[in-house]
Structure 1
Amino acid sequence: MAQNAVGRLFRSHNATTTLRQSVGSFTQQRSASGRALPHFRTADTIEVEEALDRLREELFVPFGVGVRQRRLMFRQKYAEKLAQEPVTASVGDEEVTLRPMNPHTLPTKNEAFEAIAHMKTYNDWRNLSPLLSGLKMSNRIVKPSRMEWIVRKAGEADALGVLLGCARRAKITGMRLNDVDLVQRIFFELHRKAQRAGFQGVEASKALSFARQFTEMMESPDHVEHDITRDPKRRPFVIGTLLELAAARALSEFEGKDLKGEVRVYAQRLLACWKLGNFDREEKDWVAIDRMLQENVPILTGMKLALQVKGVSSDRTVSLSLKSHSDKLATLVANQAKLAPADVQANPSLGLQQARILLEEQS
């Protein structure tokens, strides 16, 4: 019926209201929904800037206005009238001009992902949150595997801090921390950030701060997972990475002292959730094996660092249990690293890279 009403608007020769006045009621109805268009910062990379402009004007705007307004923009029979008599619509607190558009030439999700692939600077990456919110508003679903890819790209660009902002706005970005694989990717990238800094200095401290914030966020309603067996924050890779980063800070900044008992607490929690880890499954597929390495290398590193921290090493019960678990896990990591195919040995995958670094440090 709404479509017929719009059609009559253009067919009637005796209408006393203008197109602008007729659309006004649609605009007011849309404003009441509270939806707002994403706003982008000026990007440093020209390809990113151009892609974000196109996505905003040609995808996010038409999906930000109401359904009937969108029909005015998309249907060819209204194009000439709309071009002759432009109207504006309210989206949140912003006024946008409706214009004729071809729905078959709208930007695709792949164009958004290409923009992310071109992001180089932190300033570029600060546009990730509004980009994800625009995609969600436009009903473009970002698959979990693609979200993991985004996390990996952010890690490579040393822009993990922007992910915190995305997670804080989970309702509009879709980045929820209740998916085990996504959280595992985030914590692996935090491990890599600290590892690149030799587990020392500002970058390692930042990694620990980020890890704490992600963990705290997983307690909030937007992220909580009530099924204990599927709860990411209870998995050893989360606790193990926290242990790794906290132990590294104790060793590099506090002369190996566990000043607040934090390292010891993380060690105890790791041992308590050990049964939920990915330690015993036998895999023959290298992709799955490499995934296990990415999960387990930070845990193993965390245990080895923790055993050097005063307060952990002096607790006989905890230290003996850590030593026993770390010895078994070290054997598993070493054996799995040997299973890499020849082409992977020549061009190491992420898990193999980290396993080699750890094994070389031990030798």
Structure 2
Amino acid sequence: MTSICTRCALRIHRASQLETQPIASRAFSQAATRSREFPTFAYTTNDDLNDALANLRNKHLVPAFLNKREQKLIFSPKQKDYLKENPQTIELGGEEIELQWMNRLTDRPARKALTHQALEQIFETRDDKAWTNVAKLLQANQLLKKPVDERMQAKIVRKALNQGKIAHILAILQQSQKTGMSLKTPQVLDTLIQGFRDLAQRTNWDKAHTEKALKEMNLVALMLESEEHGGGGRLRKDDPRRSPKVLGVMLELAAVHAYKHLEGKDTTGVVHRYADRLLSCMDDGHVAPSEEALNLSERGPQTSFQQSIPVLHGTFLANKMLGEKMPQAEKARQVLTNYEARLSGLAAVLESRAPEKGTYDYLALESWQKMIRD
């Protein structure tokens, strides 16, 4: 006679009681099917991070994946003693999880606070295992129908750039339907492309970093062609594919790479192509930016100043390399004249402030000073 293990016998006994037991005594979650993907966080060497992730999982994610009867079991005061005396388990993400009774008001730390706590711990490390949890955190908040706000998404991008973890951001963007992070979010796109060019610029445009930035920028350009990140087949209003601040960085990186590392030759025609595309997308307001459009702030990031530098830098190098073959040559000369005059004046103001290293003014002035002019 075939023997049956104790655990299997217990499960058979429970199953036989399902139809006759009241809800207070049913073990109805043993074979439940979960159609949604359950985010599984990676365990790290950081105990504070592990605790925040575990709390988010146990107190928010697990309840969200339960059916109504199971939720009643973990939230109803009447079920507290029963659940304690009769442990129940479910399977999520390939893991068997024991259901825990909890008080909705006192036993559940705020979801947003837990998410931010976990992210702040991740921001302080370069550990890849910790950074893999960023995508899972975003996915978890999406499943809870409480997506991470745009400001925090931009901060995630900025911190990833600072820690050399941009590959994680690109992976997050490539699964935007799960993570909710998209290049349609202006703060995410602006932070990302500015970060690409700044990382290359801070190495004085060395070959490896410039090529890496150019490769990553080309990947972003491809993403912008998709429905998830751009307009797909249509050009929408304020489409980033026609934005001078986006095209300016693309031209700048291509032009710096060709000028400094390809003996000043546009061997593939990419510089000509990007220059023509940039100039075609610049209306009168872009060719001759007003003081309102291009200015300095008293404090904080010098956004318009820094976003205008790639336009000038890229156009300058393209014109220098292409000469008579420069597309829309007259318009290019107007851009060079107007941007040089405006930006040099603003750079003088920044210099007069004697900014300390690492400040927003210092970083903006550094961008100006590291333009290639020889």
TM range, smaller chain: 0.7 to 0.9
**Cα distance in 2 for residues equivalent to 1:16 and 1:66:** 17
RMSD of aligned Cα (Å): 3.3
**Cα distance in 1 for residues equivalent to 2:351 and 2:76:** 55
- 1:6 corresponding residue in structure 2: none
**Which 10-residue stretch deviates more, 91-100 or 239-248?**
91-100
Shift in CA distance, 344/231, structure 1 to aligned 2, threshold 3 Å? farther
Is 1:302 matched up with 2:314? Answer: yes
- 1:96 corresponding residue in structure 2: 97
Aligned mate of 2:271, from 244, 255, 263: 263
Alpha-carbon offset, residue 184 of structure 1: 1.2
**Cα distance in 2 for residues equivalent to 1:89 and 1:143:** 31
Shift in CA distance, 264/128, structure 1 to aligned 2, threshold 3 Å? same
- 2:304 corresponding residue in structure 1: 292
Shift in CA distance, 359/253, structure 1 to aligned 2, threshold 3 Å? closer
**Which 10-residue stretch deviates more, 49-58 or 241-250?**
49-58
Alignment of 1:178-327 (within 5 A): 178-225=184-231, 226=234, 228-275=236-283, 279-280=289-290, 282=292, 285-286=297-298, 290-309=302-321, 312-327=322-337
**Cα distance in 1 for residues equivalent to 2:67 and 2:203:** 49
Unpaired runs of at least 5, structure 2: 1-17
Shift in CA distance, 333/36, structure 1 to aligned 2, threshold 3 Å? same
Q: Does the CA-based 8 Å contact 2:296-2:302 persist in structure 1?
A: no
- CA offset digits 1:21-51 (Å, max 9, x no partner): 43458x33xx13xx12222334455543443
Aligned mate of 2:147, from 126, 141, 144: 141
Higher-Rg member (1/2)? 2
**Which 10-residue stretch deviates more, 313-322 or 146-155?**
313-322
Alpha-carbon offset, residue 266 of structure 1: 0.6
**Which 10-residue stretch deviates more, 114-123 or 200-209?**
114-123
Amino acid across the alignment from 1:303: T
- 1:333 corresponding residue in structure 2: 343
Shift in CA distance, 91/216, structure 1 to aligned 2, threshold 3 Å? same
Q: Does the CA-based 8 Å contact 2:138-2:179 persist in structure 1?
A: yes
Alpha-carbon offset, residue 269 of structure 1: 0.7
Shift in CA distance, 346/280, structure 1 to aligned 2, threshold 3 Å? same
Is 1:108 matched up with 2:114? Answer: no
- 1:9 corresponding residue in structure 2: none
Shift in CA distance, 93/156, structure 1 to aligned 2, threshold 3 Å? same
Q: Does the CA-based 8 Å contact 1:293-1:333 persist in structure 2?
A: yes
Shift in CA distance, 88/280, structure 1 to aligned 2, threshold 3 Å? farther
Alignment of 1:108-127 (within 5 A): 108-119=111-122, 120-123=125-128, 124-127=130-133
**Which 10-residue stretch deviates more, 319-328 or 206-215?**
319-328
User: What secondary structure, in the 3-state scheme, does the structure 1 residue paired with 2:28 have?
Assistant: helix
Alpha-carbon offset, residue 297 of structure 1: 2.3
Amino acid across the alignment from 2:241: K
More helix by share: 1
User: What secondary structure, in the 3-state scheme, does the structure 1 residue paired with 2:160 have?
Assistant: helix
- CA offset digits 1:112-148 (Å, max 9, x no partner): 2233233220513232111111121123322212211
TM-score, length of structure 1 as denominator length = 0.82
Amino acid across the alignment from 2:82: K
Alpha-carbon offset, residue 327 of structure 1: 3.0
Q: Does the CA-based 8 Å contact 1:20-1:88 persist in structure 2?
A: no
Q: Does the CA-based 8 Å contact 1:234-1:273 persist in structure 2?
A: yes
Shift in CA distance, 108/251, structure 1 to aligned 2, threshold 3 Å? same
**Which 10-residue stretch deviates more, 258-267 or 332-341?**
332-341
What percent of counterpart residues are identical? 24
Shift in CA distance, 200/118, structure 1 to aligned 2, threshold 3 Å? same
Amino acid across the alignment from 1:325: V
Amino acid across the alignment from 2:341: T
Unpaired runs of at least 5, structure 1: 1-11
**Cα distance in 1 for residues equivalent to 2:326 and 2:296:** 37
**Cα distance in 2 for residues equivalent to 1:56 and 1:249:** 46
Alpha-carbon offset, residue 277 of structure 1: 5.0
Shift in CA distance, 341/49, structure 1 to aligned 2, threshold 3 Å? farther
Alpha-carbon offset, residue 289 of structure 1: 7.3
Shift in CA distance, 96/186, structure 1 to aligned 2, threshold 3 Å? same
**Cα distance in 2 for residues equivalent to 1:24 and 1:42:** 25
**Cα distance in 2 for residues equivalent to 1:244 and 1:328:** 17
Shift in CA distance, 261/190, structure 1 to aligned 2, threshold 3 Å? same
- 1:80 corresponding residue in structure 2: 81
- 1:3 corresponding residue in structure 2: none
Alpha-carbon offset, residue 17 of structure 1: 8.1
Q: Does the CA-based 8 Å contact 1:48-1:118 persist in structure 2?
A: yes
Shift in CA distance, 337/64, structure 1 to aligned 2, threshold 3 Å? farther
